[in-house]
Amino acid sequence: MGSAAARWSELQSGRGIPPEILARAPVSPWGHDPADFTPPDEPADTPSRAAALSLLAPAGTVLDVGCGGGDAAFALVGPLTEAIGVDVAQDMLDVFEAAADVRGVPARTVLGPWPDVAADAGPADVVVSHHVLHNVVDLGPFVDALTAAAGRGVVVEMLAEHPMAWLDPLWERFHGLHRPPSATVDDAVAVLRERGVAPEVTLWDRELRLPHSPEWITRRLCLPPERAPEVAAAVAEIPPRTRTAATLVWRP
Ligand SMILES: C[S@@+](CC[C@H](N)C(=O)[O-])C[C@H]1O[C@@H](n2cnc3c(N)ncnc32)[C@H](O)[C@@H]1O
């Protein structure tokens, strides 16, 4: 493993929840509602969408890795001839399939972790992977497989820092847990360069979509629901979560 990949892996590993805190959590902090990942009827006009549309024109197939409900793939309806969704969560793939049906787009899904299931997914003209890199520890093989699967190009979208990094002061406050800094876009780009890829990078401000109510944050912090008012007061004192996103584009 190169030094950039080792740094990425170390920073990502430091973001886990220690087992003694997890053991005291009244409910799982990881729960999510797949409906929150339903793609909008009108796709957001973002640098990621623009980059993918220009790679895809006039028509072609799209592989969406860590697809969730298919926000990235279904923003490309028009030139999109087939959408292939890969995700570790079947409930996300169900949302992806429903979104394809509604739009009349031919679609296929593959359940399992990327890159392990890359052969089942097969190649596509354009590979997109939005908001997944901050979930990955071993980034080198993950991005290698994105490159290998792409006929024309890869579009990755990620937040400037880990999406939960803004809660780090609250882990310190409620659990005395000091977290290492988050991995950043620069760290991801360093790993790509180590793999022989020089992506074009565009930074921009993203609309916040997923709900982060005090109840949601309280659960995420492994605290009981009755502490939600205390958590809400604490949230008001910390910097807001980042809206800075990055679009990384490269050709195979
Ligand atoms: C934050 S969601 C983003 C979903 C979607 N791409 C979007 O932008 O709305 C991350 C998704 O990646 C999936 N995921 C995380 N690691 C994965 C991996 N190694 N292989 C496949 N899916 C993964 C999760 O199950 C989840 O659906």
Residue 10: CB partners within 8 Å, gap ≥ 6?
180
| Whole-number Cα distances in Å, 149 to 11, 108, 129, 195 | 27, 15, 12, 15
Given a cut of 90, whether residue 93 has pLDDT beyond it is yes
Q: Is 117 a pocket residue for ligand 1 (Cβ < 6 Å)?
A: no
The CATH fold assigned to 3-162+180-213+243-250 is: Rossmann fold (3.40.50)
C-alpha span between 23 and 1 (Å, rounded): 33
Q: Which of 64, 66, 69, 71 is nearest to 43 (CA)?
A: 71
Q: What are phi and psi of 53, to 5 degrees?
A: -65, -40
C-alpha span between 187 and 217 (Å, rounded): 27
Given a cut of 70, whether residue 211 has pLDDT beyond it is no
DSSP annotation of 77 reads T
**pLDDT tens, position by position, 186-201:** 999 999 999 999 999 9
**pLDDT tens, position by position, 117-152:** 999 999 999 999 999 999 999 999 999 999 999 999
Residue 148: CB partners within 8 Å, gap ≥ 6?
118, 123, 252
Tell me the residue ranges of DSSP E strands in the chain.
60-65, 80-87, 107-111, 124-130, 150-159, 200-205, 244-250
What's the mean pLDDT when you consider all of the chain?
A: 95
The mean pLDDT value for 86-112 works out to: 97
C-alpha span between 54 and 49 (Å, rounded): 9
- Looking at the CA of residue 89, tell me the nearest atom of ligand 1: 25
Write the residue with the smallest CA distance to atom 27 of ligand 1.
68
Given a cut of 70, whether residue 16 has pLDDT beyond it is yes
Q: Is 110 a pocket residue for ligand 1 (Cβ < 6 Å)?
A: no
Q: Is 76 a pocket residue for ligand 1 (Cβ < 6 Å)?
A: no
Q: Is 158 a pocket residue for ligand 1 (Cβ < 6 Å)?
A: no
C-alpha span between 67 and 117 (Å, rounded): 14
